[in-house]
Amino acid sequence: EVQLQASGGGLVQAGGSVSLSCVASGFSSADRDIGWFRQAPGKERKGIACINTKSGSSYYDHSVKERFTISWDNAKNTAKLQMNKMKSEDTAVYYCAMGPAGTWGPHCYGPAYDDWGQGTQVTVSS
């Protein structure tokens, strides 16, 4: 059984930085996609940054490209999301998820992800 434990987040000022971590356990294949999704109040959950655990290739939603960086540490089985230049619209509950590797590279299509961690709140104050 895959388990994902997310941590980090909290309150951050606009323009500031914060990071999230997700420790994954119970998975057998070294070739998986793991990603971060977020859900803002009144909005649908959306994938924002995803990475393949074998190749290290990544995908970013346009809303976070150039500001957020996703990484995967094979030794620690941990995905990290470094978030810089935070904006008020980044306020959301953030979730990590893991799923099978995408055929054409990592993606952030939520329904394809099998396992989800608990959410962690990130609030950006202006």
pLDDT of amino acid 111 = 92
Give the contacts of 66 (CB within 8 A, at least 6 positions apart).
Answer: none
pLDDT in tens, 26-45: 998 889 999 999 999 999 99
The number of CA neighbours under 13 Å toward the Cβ of 50 is: 26
Averaged over 73-95, what is the pLDDT?
97
Asked if 83 and 122 touch (Cβ cutoff 8 Å), the reply is yes
The number of CA neighbours under 13 Å toward the Cβ of 57 is: 12
The band of 121, judged by pLDDT with boundaries at 50, 70 and 90, is very high
pLDDT of amino acid 4 = 98
Give me the long-range contacts of 109-114 (CB less than 8 A, separation at least 24): 109/47, 110/37, 110/45, 110/46, 110/47, 112/33, 113/33, 113/35, 113/37, 114/2
